[in-house]
Amino acid sequence: MSQKQAKSLQVITIVAMMFLYAMIAFVTNLAAPVGKIWGASFDDPAQAERMGMLGNLFNFLAYLIMGIPAGNILSKYGYKRTALTAIFLGFIGISIQWLSGMVDSFAVYLFGALLGGFCVCMLNTVVNPMLNLLGGGGNRGNQLNLVGGTLNSLSGSLTPMLVGAIIGESLAGKTISDVNIVLYIAMAVFAVVYLVIRLTPIAEPAGAGQQVTYEHSPWSFRHLTLGVIAIFFYVGVEVGIPATLISYLTPKLGFAAAGLIAGRYWVLMLIGRFIGSAIGGKVSSKTMVTCVASVAIILMVAAMLIGDSIMAKTFVQGQVLEVPLASTLLVLCGLCTSVMWGSIFNMATEGLGKYTAKASGIFMMMVVGGGIVPQIQSIIAAHDCLISYIVPVIGVAYILWYALVGSKNVNKDIKIN
């Protein structure tokens, strides 16, 4: 293969990975708003809050189940076959969620959410290390992940806005069948993406899909072990902030307006990742995370202290509404969380060599935090939504410590080739 052909193949592979990044957010961000539709069918408000987040919990529980198997599948069969399997699972998962509305079964919906989680777990296992390797690791690898994260945020910001616009102001009497159009779009996109990836020549990294001898476990790397804990907290924070914000604003503004405002969190993540991708080649992951984690803690603590005492005007659905300033501060956290995922992954897998594929599976396993942490937060939110933000504050505090101390590779004596 000529150098020009190799370069073209690399570009095609990068574009394919970027497209998969967008699909990850679409499936993931569908769980919270659709789950709240199911939750609204329960009369007790506290029970409705918990059940509304149950679909989200199942979506992320899949990471705990599938994380390590996904890494093993990636090591054995390579990136393309793993991606195709994941996309197929995603189509089936969304189809089952559609079926749950037809048979009016919450249990069927949860099973569909679980399969959707299997899909995004495997896609994440493919996309993150692939882009990191294509970029040669380091700042450049992080930069490619941030570019993919930009598309991820664009897709993520549109999902709750779309569901909110379809449902309207009130959840009363609404069922999952009312958002069938969103599910149809998801199924169609999965079908198209499957064909595109199937026909696209993917540049597999050296050794992918081949038998590799491992002298140690990926857990032997301290910075990976501490990194998977950081990602557990991060995904919980990323999901919990906007999901609880919807619960906080719905009694004040209605579901549609609350969804649109919460969607701005994802828009700011899009902007933050765009900025991060522009500077990612020059600014280290450690510096990025240290700065944004510090600001996120300040914003959340300020929101908790201000509460409903200060109001601010905002433009929603063609009208000017008064909203608590605290909600604006929480939306601004999207700028801070925007660069955390790729940066934490970059720090956790830096210098792992042949252990990267297996490490990626372990890393994905702990994304289950996106289901567990918001569920813990929802228990507190049933009594006081703003006080519940103490949960993400603790999570971001750990992430700050990881960037400053825990991300250093102290196991450079382990052979990685």
Q: What pLDDT was estimated at residue 213? A: 66
**Can you tell me the distance from the alpha carbon of 96 to that of 115, in angstroms, rounded to the nearest whole number?**
9
Lowest mean pLDDT among 52-61, 269-278, 393-402: 52-61
Report the sign of the C-alpha dihedral through residues 36, 38, 44, 49, in that order.
negative
> Smallest Cα–Cα separation from 50: which of 42, 172, 232?
42
Taking the C-alpha atoms of residue 51 and residue 375, their distance in angstroms, rounded to an integer, is 9
pLDDT value of position 45: 65
Position 113 pLDDT exceeds 80:
yes
Tell me: pLDDT of 295 over 90. yes
Report whether pLDDT(10) > 90: no
Higher-scoring residue by pLDDT: 43, 81: 81
Fold for 3-201+219-406, please state it: Growth Hormone; Chain: A; (1.20.1250)
Q: How confident is the model at residue 291 (pLDDT cuts 50, 70, 90)?
A: very high
Q: Which helix (H) or strand (E) holds 316?
A: strand 311-316
Cα 389 to Cα 204: distance, rounded to the nearest angstrom: 42
Question: How wide is the angle at C-alpha 325 spanned by C-alphas 324 and 326, nearest 5°?
Answer: 85
Task: Give residue 136's pLDDT.
Answer: 64
Q: pTM above 0.85? A: no
Kindly report which listed range (48-57, 160-169, 202-211, 331-340) carries the lowest average pLDDT score: 202-211
**Highest mean pLDDT: which range of 12-16, 99-103, 167-171, 285-289:** 285-289
With tokens 């198209």, the residue in question is 192
Give the tokens for residue 80: 């393309």
CA triple 197-199-204, angle to 5 deg: 65
For 200, counting Cβ atoms within 10 Å of its Cβ (0-12 exposed, 13-18 middle, 19+ buried), the class is middle
Q: What is the pLDDT of residues 189-239, one digit of tens each?
A: 788 878 877 887 766 665 555 566 667 788 888 999 999 999 999 999 998
